[in-house]
Each structure stands twice: as C-alpha cells, then as structure tokens.
Structure 1
Amino acid sequence: MIYALHGAVGMAADWKSFALSMKQEGEAVARVDLWQFLACCPMPLAQFGNAFNREVHSKQPVLLGYSMGGRLALHALLSNPKMYKAAIIVSAHTGIEEEDKPARQAQDAAWAAKALSGDWDDFLNAWNRQGVLEGGIMPDRSALKRQREAVARSFMDWSVGTQENLLPRLKELSCPILWVVGENDQKFLAVARRAMQELSNGQLVVIPDCGHRVPWEQAEAFHAVVTKFLQSNSESRLSQ
C-alpha cells in the first residue's frame, strides 16, 4: 500500500489520477486527507509522525509525500525508521536556517490569515500565482473552503519556519528513498542534492521540463519513475 500525502492547500483527491495509474500496476494507493490531523486542535510537526504512523495498518507500507506532504512524510519516517518498506519524496524541503525562520513564520502567518478570513477565491489565486507553483493544473479547490480552518492552521503548525532542520537526521533512514524534483525547480533541486549526501539508500530523479508540481505537471514521467523504483526494490528483495 502506498500512502500518499498531498501538499499545502491540497486535497487527498489530488492523487486520484495517480492512484488509477498505479492500480494498473497492481499497486494500491491510500490518498490521505492531511486536514483530519488539524480538524480539532493543533498538531505540531514534532507530534505528526507518531500520530500519522498510528493510522497506518498495512504491512510493508510505502510512503509518498509531495511538498508539504513530503516534509510530513519525512517526520513519519524519522518517527519510526523501520516501519516503511520505501519512500518517495517529491519537491520537499528538509528545513531552513535558524536565521531565516522568523521571516518564514511571518510569511506563513499572513497566508494563514488569508486562508481563514479572506475571500477564498482571492486566497487561491494568490497562492497559485507564486512562481514556484507555475505549471501543472491542479484539481478545483472550491470544496476545500469547508476545511479552511485546518488549512489556516497548517500554515502555523506545519510551517517550515517552525520545523527542525531534518537534513542531519536523514542518515537515520535506511529504507530505499526515491527523491523526485523538477529540473526547473532550482531551489528544491539544491535541497534534493544535499539530501542525497546524507541518505544511505537514496536515489535522485530529476524530471526534465518540469517545475515544482511534478506529479501533475509531468504525470506520465512521474508514474514511470515511481513504477520503476518500486519494481526495482521488489526485485532486489526477492534476490536477497
């Protein structure tokens, strides 16, 4: 079972097409609604890993996370490094420098205010106008308005400005990890390359002609690299 974690201002439904394509390969995908973890109360990043792992019941699960979901996936992996068979991290940040955190927290607080009390369409338009998110058409977000309190809380609880820098801890992970990033996403490509220096069993794949939203901007290429990764690791286990 692949547990798929969506990004900021995202939905479990974002993975629908990916889940259908993987079903043809015999792989089941559980599309996780991350907002359930923020529906009633705060959920600090330090607590998310344990909380999420309690919800995973399949044997030898594979963890997939995009952007914010990728950061959350790393927390789940580090919370129980031996729990997962493999992981796929897409366009995710491992953490920022301490001196950069106050500015990021202030920026995310502004996003939280817009998500909570601003015009929803204006908020979505402003979010999607960010340069890093150019390319890749995402599913309609109007239904997400019903969960705007949880979306707003995510900008506070799950801000990279409040996150521990996970880069030094990546050496704790021994399961195979596929790190995927678009070649035009230079900021996150640099992050991915640094992560490769820490991971003992990591593989970096750079998708050509692609930005941040890899699974949607280059859906076929993403499906291909994920399928190859899962098959190669399955074959390697059988040969042991």
Structure 2
Amino acid sequence: MIWALHGAVGRPADWLGLSDALRAHGLPLRGEVRRLDLWRFLDCCPMPLSQFGDTLASEIARVDDEPILIAYSMGGRLALHALIARPELWKAAVIISAHPGLQEESERAVRRAQDAIWSARALKGDWREFLEQWQAQSVLADGPAMPDRMQLKDRRTSVARSFVDWSLGAQQDLRPQLRAVSCPVLWLSGARDEKFTALAEEVVPFFQNASHQVLEDCGHRVPWEKSEAFAGVCVQWLEALAEK
C-alpha cells in the first residue's frame, strides 16, 4: 500500500488523483493510496520529530506489512524519521524536495527563530494574509498555488504547532542515520529548485540503496507542477523494483 505525506501548510487532499494517475501509468495498486492527515498528530498536544517517526511506523505496521511512502517537503522530512525509526518495515520510499537537516547549530537556531514567526502568524494572524505570505516565498513563488488552503483555518493550532515541533531547526542532521535505511529510495527534485536538487545529490549516497532523479522545467512542488511526469517516474521506478 502507498502512504502519501503532504507538505507544510498542506492537506491530505493534495494527493487526490494520485491513485488514478499511478494506475493510468500501469501500476497495479493493492488498495487505494492512503493520504495521511499529518495535522492529527499535533491536534491534541506537541509531538517531536523523533516521536512522530516511531508513531507513524507503529501505526502503519499494524495494517500493512509492505508499506511504500511517497512524501513531499515537510512530509519528506517526517518520512525520513519513520524510515530511520523502523528501517526493516518499509518496502520503498519516494522522497520529494525534502531536507535531510541543517548541519550547524547556528543554522538551526536561525531557522527556529524564523519558524516561530510563521507559527505566530498561523496561530493569530489573518489566515488569508498568512497564506499569501507563505505562497510568496521564493521557493514556492514560481510554482502552482495549491487549492483549498482556506479550509486549513480550522486546523490553524496544529499548523502553528508544526512550525515549532517539526521545524527544520528542531531536526537533527539525519545524514549519518540514513545509512540504516535499507529499503530502496527514490529522491526527486525539480531542476529549477537548485537548492533542493543540490541537497538531493549530497544526501543520496548516505543511503544503502537510493537514486536521485531531476524533473526538468520544474520547481519545488514536483507532484503538482509536473503531475504526469511525476506519476510516470514513480510507476517506472516501482515497476523496476518489482521485477528484481
């Protein structure tokens, strides 16, 4: 079964249509794609990144003995924690436009301060203005605007909490721990997203079995900027794994 993790200020509905797209490219799916609501992990109380990895892996292990992760941006970072927590569990993972972690504490401190500002905006600011500021970031500005973000206003407490608990500044540098991940990993990035393409090239060698593919004429939001190409790449890679 495929488990899809959305990004920051994202929704499970972002992955609507993924099942049909994968099937259209010839992938026989065992069940539907499960679109995870990441905000429910923060609805009641804080959950640090290390705890999330254990929690997600344990939940999925109870219902799926061959899970595949497809995870974007913040969801990609969360997926890395789940891969590390239970490396024997996963059949495969597709990680998209994700960050393995900042390497210097000074960088992490700066990021925590920046994300504290985003957290305050999400919790107390005008929601529409918050969304406009989020979309205006350089890494997202040339990509498609994601729909239905106003519906997240009801989840603003959890979204705000994510900027603290799941901040890149709260994340360890995962590079050394990625050596424990034994399942095949496909890391995707967009050619215009130079920062995250460079990160992908740097981090892939840390895995036991990983490859990096760049989608041309594409920025950070790979699955939505190049949806057909993205589905085709995923299906081709998964089918090649099945033949081994």
Letter of the 1:33 partner, please give it: D
Mapped pair 1:35 → 2:43: no
Shift of 1:19: 2.6
Residue in structure 1 matching 2:208, options 160, 181, 200: 200
SS in 2 for 1:14: helix
Q: Which residue of 1 aligns with 2:15?
A: 15
Q: Which residue of 2 aligns with 1:55?
A: 59
Alpha-carbon displacement from aligned partner over 1:89-138 (angstroms, at most 9, x marks no partner): 00000001222011100100000000001000000000000010121231
- Would the aligned equivalents of 1:52 and 1:76 in 2 still touch at CA under 8 Å? yes
Of 174-183 and 12-21, more deviation after overlay is shown by: 12-21
- Would the aligned equivalents of 1:137 and 1:217 in 2 still touch at CA under 8 Å? no
Shift of 1:23: 4.0
Shift of 1:216: 0.2
Letter of the 1:87 partner, please give it: A
Instruction: Find the aligned partners of 1:144 and 1:192 in 2 and give their Cα distance.
Output: 30
Letter of the 2:166 partner, please give it: W
Residue in structure 2 matching 1:226, options 221, 226, 234: 234
Structure 2 gap segments, 5+ residues each: none
Identity of counterpart residues, as a percentage?
Answer: 51
Q: Which residue of 2 aligns with 1:107?
A: 114
Of 36-45 and 25-34, more deviation after overlay is shown by: 25-34
Shift of 1:18: 1.7
SS in 1 for 2:59: coil
- Would the aligned equivalents of 2:22 and 2:232 in 1 still touch at CA under 8 Å? no
1:58-97 aligned within 5 A: 58-96=64-102, 97=104
Residue in structure 1 matching 2:223, options 206, 210, 215: 215
Moved over 4 A (4+): none
Q: Which residue of 1 aligns with 2:138?
A: 131
Shift of 1:226: 0.4
CA RMSD of aligned residues (A): 0.9
- Would the aligned equivalents of 1:183 and 1:208 in 2 still touch at CA under 8 Å? yes
- Would the aligned equivalents of 2:96 and 2:187 in 1 still touch at CA under 8 Å? yes
TM-score by length of 2: 0.95
Instruction: Find the aligned partners of 2:151 and 2:145 in 1 and give their Cα distance.
Output: 16
Q: Which residue of 2 aligns with 1:4?
A: 4
Residues matched between the structures, number: 236
Shift of 1:188: 0.7
- Would the aligned equivalents of 1:22 and 1:29 in 2 still touch at CA under 8 Å? no
Instruction: Find the aligned partners of 1:6 and 1:223 in 2 and give their Cα distance.
Output: 16
Alpha-carbon displacement from aligned partner over 1:22-68 (angstroms, at most 9, x marks no partner): 24432231000000100000000010011111221212010111000
SS in 1 for 2:34: strand
Instruction: Find the aligned partners of 1:145 and 1:95 in 2 and give their Cα distance.
Output: 28
Mapped pair 1:159 → 2:167: yes
Instruction: Find the aligned partners of 1:112 and 1:139 in 2 and give their Cα distance.
Output: 21
Instruction: Find the aligned partners of 1:225 and 1:200 in 2 and give their Cα distance.
Output: 21
Instruction: Find the aligned partners of 1:212 and 1:63 in 2 and give their Cα distance.
Output: 18
Letter of the 1:4 partner, please give it: A
Instruction: Find the aligned partners of 1:50 and 1:174 in 2 and give their Cα distance.
Output: 17
Instruction: Find the aligned partners of 2:199 and 2:12 in 1 and give their Cα distance.
Output: 25
1:167-206 aligned within 5 A: 167-206=175-214
SS in 2 for 1:54: helix
SS in 1 for 2:35: strand
SS in 1 for 2:47: coil
Shift of 1:158: 0.1
Shift of 1:193: 0.7
